Amino acid sequence: MALSSVVVTMEKPNKFSLVEINGSDSTLLLEKQKAVSPKQFTWFLFLKANRVFACLSWLPMALKTTFLSVKKRIALSDVSDEEAKSRRLYRFIKVFLFISIFALVLEIFAHLKKWNLNMIQPWEVQGLFQWCYMTWLSFRVDYVAPLVLTMSKFCIVLFLIQSLDRLILCLGCFWIKYKNLKPRINGDAYDIEDGSSFPMVLVQIPMCNEREVFAQSIAAASQLDWPKDRILIQVLDDSDDGNLQLLIKDEVSLWREKGVNIIYRHRLIRTGYKAGNLKSAMACDYVKDYEFVAIFDADFQPNPDFLKQTVPHFKGDPELGLVQARWSFVNKDENLLTRLQNINLCFHFEVEQQVNGAFLNFFGFNGTAGVWRIKALEESGGWLERTTVEDMDIAVRAHLNGWKFIFLNDVKVLCELPESYEAYKKQQHRWHSGPMQLFRLCLPAIVTSKISVSKKANLIFLFFLLRKLILPFYSFTLFCIILPLTMFIPEAELPLWVICYIPIFMSFLNIIPALKSFPFLVPYLLFENTMSVTKFNAMISGLFQLGSAYEWVVTKKTGRSSESDLVALAERESKSLNEEKITRRHSESGLETLNKLKKQEEITPLKKRNRLYRKELVLAFLLLTAAARSLLSAHGVHFYFLLFQGLTFLVVGLDLIGEQIS
């Protein structure tokens, strides 16, 4: 039988207490009687005070350390090459900064003098300085404010149109999820027992000085699950390093000895960059025997079943020209920069590519992780070297020729994100200058093509103008120029919903495909506004054919994700060598060659330094100046937005985001 009650004695410092628990309580929960003596309470307060003082003493040291590190960074950093080539925008922002600082000094002086100029009559003006300030206010109200107000209204309209487009894309994505709309394979699958039923597939791996990642891409392509006599892998090497060429040749020889149908091609003259490399490879005589071509950049690692998940979609659909897979990132949690990139690219694939593929059968080819029907490439003119976005170029021309595209959101290919801001900035410059080059070149062909009017309108107004031109234009103009300007021109002040509510709502929509990144919502919004400077500059250079529009810089890879794969690959190689007794007469071990190259790097280390980005730094001080002016007027949200946006520009301008180079 259960006892009706239990008496529990609990001993505390300086105190004893009795608790009685009735047997009728099924939970038998102990309700602790908390009794604290005055002595205990005093010690508790002393402990809290000690922690507060420790925190206060740590704060100056942290600020001092941060200041010294920033000072050292400025002393040792280099100005980026791109900054030196885009002086016009930098000079414009710098002049704007000087004017803003001068205006802030005037506003502070007027604030300290407690001038109420609205109540002063002209004959009551005291001194030349007060008269000049009243003249400026009158000129501002009559001439400057209307101009700024017109510009802000124009940018707000563009902002609303682009936000509506993004909202429609998100609704389309929700509809796809709700209806479970996915591309289906027409017809039966290929007969596994009959290898001749599989189509001939060409796999191309274009690369250029990809020392860190070439081994993993070749290994992944060599392990694709496809009949050996129905696949050919082309390693298209544009490297200018003789040692690296030998290393890649060695890797290719290793897989060839294992029975993989793989060849190595190297161009002596590297013209046309990636487009020229692919064009040269497609000119080989044996290509006519192949029906499809799969393209993977050097840092991409397809799963063995990639071809079996993509190529069957072409069966029974002769109008299908491209099957695009989604990217997945091995280093998305490496640092803050990769986390923010992951948010952007998840939205691009999950929403933009999927919705356009499902409802329009058209989207921009991502340049890798896709399978093309070779006939579609040939009928569309093949690879052209006229822009830095050869992938978007061939996609637009294929669309104008009537070919359809599908996007497979469930098929993911592993790749790597740029971990340094320098690499990411160069990548974004190429991605935003190239489309404007292409728009200039393709506009006559789009207008005169035989596709429907709706498809022409989609290409011109949505694909190019709205998403490639208007987005960087209003982002930079509205949030980096007009917003700080309105702090000195209160008559044209932007409403709260423009700088707060709609941007946060749009950022929330962007982050939905990567919900785990929700804590980075505000940093994502601030960083995207910061990147608008690079995107705007790239868009202008591409639209007006400036010198930087023709730059094609290979995105730097760290190879951080491939180290474990390389070790695992070496273990598999050693086992296969023991089992199959393969004798490699004309090549060394890949790991031995890699060790030699590492020793050479240790002997002659490359001097790498973080860079300073002047446009970002000048804009940081401009926004902080505007924040100070906003503080005088107690603008509230405007002040906080300008403050944190200015600090974000400062962090990026000092290259304190992403991979740090000592």
Q: 584-622 burial by CB neighbour count: b if 16+ within 10 A, else e?
A: eeebeebeebbeeeeeeeeeeeeeeebbbbbbbbbbbbb
- Residue 157: CA atoms inside 13 Å, Cβ hemisphere, count? 5
Catalytic residues: 238, 391
- Residue 621: CA atoms inside 13 Å, Cβ hemisphere, count? 17
Mean pLDDT of the chain: 82
pLDDT over 50 at 563, yes or no: no
Q: Tell me, yes or no, whether 298 lies in a domain.
A: yes
Nearest Cα to Cα of residue 212 among 562, 472, 508, 521: 562
User: What are 638's two structure tokens?
Assistant: 């405007």
The dihedral of CA 362, 367, 373, 375: what is its sign?
A: positive
Question: Are 502 and 163 in contact, with CB atoms under 8 Å apart?
Answer: yes
Q: Residue 582's pLDDT is what?
A: 37
Look at 183 and 56; give whichever has higher pLDDT: 183
Banded model confidence at residue 284, pLDDT cuts 50, 70, 90: very high
Backbone angles phi, psi at 327, to 5 degrees: -90, 145
Q: Tell me, yes or no, whether 180 lies in a domain.
A: no
| Number of structural domains found in the chain | 1
Domain boundaries, position 225: 195-420
Look at 105 and 501; give whichever has higher pLDDT: 501
Banded model confidence at residue 555, pLDDT cuts 50, 70, 90: confident
Question: Are 550 and 409 in contact, with CB atoms under 8 Å apart?
Answer: no
Matching residue, tokens 């600090």 = 647
Question: Are 396 and 369 in contact, with CB atoms under 8 Å apart?
Answer: no
Question: Are 319 and 402 in contact, with CB atoms under 8 Å apart?
Answer: yes
User: CA-to-CA distance for 234 and 218, rounded, in angstroms?
Assistant: 9
* Segment holding 397, helix H or strand E: helix 390-400
pLDDT over 90 at 612, yes or no: no
User: CA-to-CA distance for 355 and 170, rounded, in angstroms?
Assistant: 8
The dihedral of CA 573, 579, 580, 582: what is its sign?
A: positive
| Beta strands 370-373; 611-612: pairing state | unpaired
Q: Tell me, yes or no, whether 336 lies in a domain.
A: yes
Question: Are 195 and 229 in contact, with CB atoms under 8 Å apart?
Answer: yes
Nearest Cα to Cα of residue 361 among 445, 455, 460: 455
The dihedral of CA 296, 300, 301, 304: what is its sign?
A: negative
Q: Tell me, yes or no, whether 261 lies in a domain.
A: yes
Nearest Cα to Cα of residue 330 among 391, 412, 408: 412
Q: Residue 560's pLDDT is what?
A: 61
Query: Per residue in 479-535, pLDDT tens?
Result: 999 999 898 888 888 999 999 999 999 999 999 999 899 999 999 999 999 999 999
Q: Tell me, yes or no, whether 544 lies in a domain.
A: no
pLDDT over 80 at 429, yes or no: yes
State the amino acid at position 541 in one-letter form.
Answer: S
Q: Which of 30-44, 126-140, 249-263, 505-519 is least confident?
A: 30-44
Banded model confidence at residue 32, pLDDT cuts 50, 70, 90: very low
Cα–Cα distances (Å) from 458 to 144, 231, 319, 447, 454, in that order, read 37, 37, 20, 12, 6
CA angle 471, 457, 372 (to 5 degrees): 85
DSSP 498-525: IIIIHHHHHHHHHHGGGGGGGGGHHHHH
Q: Residue 286's pLDDT is what?
A: 94
Question: What is this structure's pTM?
Answer: 0.81
Query: Per residue in 185-200, pLDDT tens?
Result: 887 777 676 778 899 9
* Segment holding 201, helix H or strand E: strand 201-207
Q: Tell me, yes or no, whether 157 lies in a domain.
A: no
Residue 327 belongs to a domain with what CATH number?
3.90.550.10
Query: Per residue in 386-414, pLDDT tens?
Result: 998 999 999 999 999 999 999 999 999 99
User: pLDDT exceeding 70 applies to what percent of the chain?
Assistant: 75
User: CA-to-CA distance for 124 and 108, rounded, in angstroms?
Assistant: 21
Question: Are 298 and 206 in contact, with CB atoms under 8 Å apart?
Answer: yes
User: CA-to-CA distance for 437 and 431, rounded, in angstroms?
Assistant: 11
Q: Residue 36's pLDDT is what?
A: 54
User: What are 294's two structure tokens?
Assistant: 């799969």
Banded model confidence at residue 552, pLDDT cuts 50, 70, 90: low
Residue 412 bridge partners (DSSP): 326
Q: Tell me, yes or no, whether 400 lies in a domain.
A: yes
User: What are 550's two structure tokens?
Assistant: 């023709």
Q: Which of 84-93, 114-123, 261-270 is least confident?
A: 114-123
Q: Residue 95's pLDDT is what?
A: 83
